[in-house]
């Protein structure tokens, strides 16, 4: 009599089966998220074996991820997802959202990229990534005034004439370089350029030798929530395609803004 050998079950086979099981479970959750339905409704949409679907629904219901509504027998997402969503919201912040985008931007252009917010009429850096070629870049002031950096001028560009008049008359602004803007009239010319082009620049206005570019981030209210920008030695930056860098900066800002709008994430300052 021949020996009947059992098929060999490897760890790879188990892992594949486990992965398939997770895929099916997640597809059920997505299906219920899109539209509540009965067992038959879900089974028809996903074309899962009835026994498999029954087992998945039982497990999801057991852990509070779905619930069955009486008397319609429709399945809907359970209250457990409220706890999950709140946990995600508490971790959502502008720096955590922007960081991976900044890393990608910095690596792509080889220059420092950063996230800036408005804090008591000064610019506050919340996140930054140093590019591969950024060793020559000097450190900016930790709290530069709004008039002398690209990020600050971007914030100022959204202010009313009344706010700008008060700012430039009361801020006791100092010329840090020959290019620093310290008057209302000079800034109004700069404001027109910023609003037209959708970005601002700091052409050695805070420190000689440095050039900065900034573009706005918008939240779900349509307001400028923060901005991102790059900083580099002017002599090096202008050996690159600056127009292409500006487009890349705008594309990155658009991607971050999309996340801020969807999550309704706002600046805490």
* Domains identified in the chain and CATH numbers: 21-83 (1.10.10.10), 92-263 (3.30.450.40)
Better-scored residue on pLDDT, 96 or 72: 72
Average pLDDT, the chain: 86
pLDDT tens by residue, 225-236? 789 999 999 999
CB-neighbour burial class of residue 3 (10 A; exposed 0-12, middle 13-18, buried 19+):
exposed
Residue recorded with tokens 């939240």 = 219
98: its two tokens:
């922007």
Predicted confidence at residue 11, as pLDDT, reads 60
Cα 209 off chain centre by: 30
pLDDT tens by residue, 196-227? 999 999 999 999 999 999 999 988 877 777 89
- Asked if the model's pLDDT at residue 6 lies above 70, the reply is no
List, in order, residues 6 or more apart from 144 with CB less than 8 Å away. 122, 123, 152, 206
Residue recorded with tokens 């209302």 = 184
What band does 126 get if pLDDT is binned at 50, 70 and 90? confident
Q: Residue 7 half-sphere exposure, CB side, CA atoms within 13 Å?
A: 5
pLDDT tens by residue, 229-257? 999 999 999 999 999 999 999 999 999 99
pLDDT tens by residue, 142-198? 567 899 999 999 999 999 999 999 999 976 788 999 999 999 999 999 999 999 999
Q: Distance from first CA to last CA of the chain, Å, rounded? A: 81
220: its two tokens:
């779900």
- Asked if the model's pLDDT at residue 12 lies above 80, the reply is no
Predicted confidence at residue 222, as pLDDT, reads 78
What band does 139 get if pLDDT is binned at 50, 70 and 90? very low
Phi, psi of 226 (to 5 degrees): -170, -175
List, in order, residues 6 or more apart from 141 with CB less than 8 Å away. 206
Give the C-alpha separation, 61 to 77, whole Å. Answer: 9
Beta bridge partners of 212: 202, 231
pTM: 0.65
């Amino acid at each position: 009599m021949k020996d009947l050998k059992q098929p060999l079950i490897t760890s790879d086979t188990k892992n594949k089966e486990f992965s398939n099981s997770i895929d099916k479970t997640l597809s059920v959750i997505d299906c219920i998220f899109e539209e509540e339905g009965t067992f038959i409704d879900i089974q028809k949409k996903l074309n899962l074996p009835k026994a498999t679907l029954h087992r998945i629904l039982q497990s999801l219901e057991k852990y509070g991820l779905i619930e069955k509504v009486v008397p319609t027998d429709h399945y809907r997402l359970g209250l457990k997802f409220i706890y999950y969503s709140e946990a995600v919201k508490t971790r959502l912040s502008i720096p955590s959202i922007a960081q991976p985008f900044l890393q990608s931007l910095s690596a792509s252009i080889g220059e420092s990229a950063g996230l800036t917010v408005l804090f008591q009429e000064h610019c506050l850096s919340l996140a930054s990534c140093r590019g591969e070629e950024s060793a020559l870049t000097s450190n900016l002031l930790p709290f530069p005034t709004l008039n002398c950096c690209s990020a600050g001028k971007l914030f100022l560009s959204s202010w009313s004439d009344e706010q700008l008049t008060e700012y430039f008359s009361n801020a006791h602004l100092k010329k840090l370089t020959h290019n620093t803007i310290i008057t209302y009239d000079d800034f109004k010319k700069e404001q027109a350029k910023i609003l037209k082009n959708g970005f601002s620049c700091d052409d050695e206005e805070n420190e000689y030798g440095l050039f900065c570019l900034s573009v706005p981030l918008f939240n779900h209210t349509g307001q400028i929530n923060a901005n991102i920008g790059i900083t580099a030695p002017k002599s090096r930056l202008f050996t690159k395609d600056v127009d292409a860098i500006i487009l890349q900066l705008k594309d990155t800002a658009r991607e971050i803004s999309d996340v801020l709008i969807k999550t309704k994430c706002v600046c805490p300052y």
